[in-house]
Amino acid sequence: MTDEQNPLMDYLTKRPVRTGGVLALGNFDGVHLGHCKIIAAAHKEAKRLKCEAHALTFDPHPYAMFHKEGGPFLLTPPSMKNRLLIEAGADHVTTIHFTKAFADKTPDAFIHDVLIEGCAVKHVVVGFDFVFGHGRGGNREGLRRCLEPQGIGVTEVPPFRDETGEVISSSRIRAALRHGNVDQARALLGRPFSIEGEIQSGDQMGRTIDFPTANIELGEIVRPLYGVYAIYARAVATTQWYAGVANIGVRPSASTHNELLEFHLFDFDRSLYGDAWEVQLCHYLRPEKAFPTMVALKQQIQADVGEARRLFALTAHHDNNG
Which of the four pLDDT bands, split at 50, 70 and 90, describes residue 207? low
Residue type at 301 in one-letter notation = I
Percentage helix, strand, coil, to 5, in the chain?
A: 35, 25, 40
Residue 40 banded pLDDT, cuts 50, 70, 90:
very high
DSSP label of 122:
S
pTM: 0.91
Strands 53-59 and 92-97: parallel
Residues 6 or more apart whose CB falls under 8 angstroms from that of 308 comprise 230, 231, 243, 244, 245, 283, 285
Contacts of 279 (CB under 8 A, 6+ apart): 194, 195, 196, 216, 231, 232, 233, 246, 261, 263
Sign of the C-alpha dihedral computed for residues 99, 100, 101 and 102 taken in this order: positive
Helix (H, G, I), strand (E, B), or coil: what is residue 165?
A: coil
**Per-residue pLDDT averaged across 257-278, rounded?**
87
Residue 203 has a pLDDT of 59
Q: What structural domains and CATH numbers belong to the chain?
A: 17-157 (3.40.50.620), 192-321 (2.40.30.30)
What tens digit of pLDDT does each residue of 155-189 get?
A: 999 999 999 999 999 999 999 999 999 999 999 99
Q: How far is CA 127 from CA 84, 98, 112, 121, 142, in A?
A: 17, 19, 20, 17, 14
The answer to whether the beta carbons of residues 110 and 131 sit under 8 Å apart is: no
Helix (H) or strand (E) holding 54: strand 53-59
What pLDDT shows up at residue 5? 44
Q: Give strand pairing partners of 206.
A: none
Q: Cα 80–174–62 angle (5° rounding)?
A: 65
Residues 6+ apart with CB under 8 A from 75: 29, 30, 32, 170, 173, 174, 193, 221, 222
Average pLDDT over residues 248-256: 74
Gap between the Cα atoms of 97 and 102, Å rounded: 8
Please report the pLDDT score of residue 283 as a whole number: 97
CA 319 to chain centre: 25
- Angstrom distance (rounded) from CA 312 to CA 179: 21
